[in-house]
C-alpha cells in the first residue's frame, strides 16, 4: 500500500514549456486535490475532484488544468509555464466518508526559469 | 466563507518545556478542525482532528488540541517538547454546512525546539 505518490519529484522548466504532474493513490479514495505551497502563503488549493470524471476549481486555478480519467489518478497540467508557477506541488486524497481527513503525497518541486 | 489564522510565523521552545501553537478559525456553523505537520522536504502528515464531542482531542506523537467555541480557537499543545518536534505545523478548517467540500489551511507555524 503506497498511499499517495507523485511523479516527478523534481522538475525544471523554461518559461513557456508545458508539463504534467501525476498523482496516484491506491486507497480507492473518491476525493483528490492539488495544492501549491509557497513560503509565507501556506497551502493553496488549485483544483480538486470529487470523483472520477469530475473536476472543480479551487482558490488559485489560473494557468493550470486537471483531469481525472481514472479514479486512482489525478493529473495537473501546466500548458505554458511561468516563473510565478515555481512552487512545491502537493497532491492529497480522502475517502467519501471519514470527516475530511486528507492524505498527502511527498510533493513535486517545480522550478520555472 | 471559511477561514483559519495562525498568528505566529514561528514558535521557539526549549526541549522539555510545554509548547502551544495557536490557531483561530471563522466558519458559519460548527467546524471540522485539523492539525497537520510537515517535516523538511516531506508531505503533510495528519496529527489530529476535532469533529464533535470532547473539546480536548488527543493525537499522534503526544500532541493534543483544545477546541474552544467561544474563542473560536483550536490551539495545538504538547506537555513536553522534543527536538524532533521541530517542523512546520498547519491548522485547517472546514464548515460542513457551508457547502464546501474542501479544507482551508492556515499559513503555517514553524516550531523550533532547542536542545
> Is the Cβ pair B45, A104 closer than 8 Å?
yes
From chain B, which residues contact A within 8 Å (Cβ)?
9, 32, 34, 36, 41-46, 49, 51, 90, 94, 101-103, 105-108
Asked if A33 reaches chain B (Cβ–Cβ under 8 Å), the answer is yes
Distance of alpha carbon B115 from alpha carbon B50, whole angstroms = 31
**Confidence check: pLDDT of A92 > 80:** yes
pLDDT for the residue B28: 83
pLDDT for the residue B49: 94
Instruction: Work out the minimum CA distance from A80 to partner chain B, whole angstroms.
Output: 26
Beta strands in A1-113 (DSSP E): 4-7, 10-13, 19-25, 31-38, 42-49, 56-57, 65-67, 73-78, 87-94, 103-104, 108-112
pLDDT for the residue B52: 86
Which of A4, A100, A107 has its CB closest to that of B103? A100
Please report residues of A whose CB lies closer than 8 A to that of B45: 104
Distance of alpha carbon A76 from alpha carbon A6, whole angstroms = 11
B47-61 pLDDT, tens digit each: 999 998 899 999 999
Which residue, B28, B1, B5, is CA-closest to B74? B5
**Confidence check: pLDDT of A109 > 90:** yes
Residue A83's φ and ψ, nearest 5 degrees, are -55, -30
Average pLDDT score, chain B: 93
Average pLDDT over residues B52-78: 95
Hey, which residues does B50 pair with through a beta bridge? B33
Percentage of chain A beyond pLDDT 90 is 87
pLDDT for the residue B99: 61
Which of A31, A42, A106 has its CB closest to that of B105? A42
Distance of alpha carbon B26 from alpha carbon B35, whole angstroms = 16
Please report residues of B whose CB lies closer than 8 A to that of A35: 105
Which of the residue ranges A34-43, A61-70, B73-82 would you say has the lowest mean pLDDT? A34-43
> Is the Cβ pair A42, B108 closer than 8 Å?
yes
A50-91 pLDDT, tens digit each: 999 999 999 999 999 999 999 999 999 999 999 999 999 999
Chain-centroid distance, C-alpha A45? 9
Which of A33, A99, A107 has its CB closest to that of B43? A107
pLDDT for the residue A41: 87
Distance of alpha carbon B19 from alpha carbon A13, whole angstroms = 41
CB A23 within 8 A of CB A4: yes
Q: Quick one: pLDDT band at residue B62, thresholds 50, 70, 90?
A: very high
Please report residues of A whose CB lies closer than 8 A to that of B43: 4, 90, 104-107
B3-41 pLDDT, tens digit each: 999 999 999 999 999 999 999 999 888 889 999 999 988
Look up residue B38 and give its three cell numbers.
Answer: 510537515
Instruction: Work out the minimum CA distance from A40 to partner chain B, whole angstroms.
Output: 6
Which of A40, A43, A50 has its CB closest to that of B105? A43
Amino acid at each position: 500500500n503506497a498511499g499517495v505518490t507523485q511523479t516527478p519529484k523534481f522538475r525544471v522548466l523554461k518559461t513557456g514549456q508545458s508539463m504534467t504532474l501525476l498523482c496516484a493513490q491506491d486507497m480507492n479514495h473518491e476525493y483528490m486535490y492539488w495544492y501549491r505551497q509557497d513560503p509565507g502563503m501556506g497551502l493553496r488549493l488549485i483544483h480538486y475532484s470529487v470523483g472520477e470524471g469530475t473536476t472543480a476549481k479551487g482558490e488559485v486555478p489560473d494557468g493550470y488544468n486537471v483531469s481525472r480519467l481514472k479514479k486512482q489518478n489525478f493529473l495537473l497540467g501546466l500548458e505554458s509555464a511561468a516563473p510565478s508557477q515555481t512552487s512545491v506541488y502537493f497532491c492529497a486524497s480522502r475517502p467519501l466518508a471519514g470527516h475530511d481527513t486528507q492524505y498527502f503525497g511527498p510533493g513535486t518541486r517545480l522550478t520555472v526559469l | 466563507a471559511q477561514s483559519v489564522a495562525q498568528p505566529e510565523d514561528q514558535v521557539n521552545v526549549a526541549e522539555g518545556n510545554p509548547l502551544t501553537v495557536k490557531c483561530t478559525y471563522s466558519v458559519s456553523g460548527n467546524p471540522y478542525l485539523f492539525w497537520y505537520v510537515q517535516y523538511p522536504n516531506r508531505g503533510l502528515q495528519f496529527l489530529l482532528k476535532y469533529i464533535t464531542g470532547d473539546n480536548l482531542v488527543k493525537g499522534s506523537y503526544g500532541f493534543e488540541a483544545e477546541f474552544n467555541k467561544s474563542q473560536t480557537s483550536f490551539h495545538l499543545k504538547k506537555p513536553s517538547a522534543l527536538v524532533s518536534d521541530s517542523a512546520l505545523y498547519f491548522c485547517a478548517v472546514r464548515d460542513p454546512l457551508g457547502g464546501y467540500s474542501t479544507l482551508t489551511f492556515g499559513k503555517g507555524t514553524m516550531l523550533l525546539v532547542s536542545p
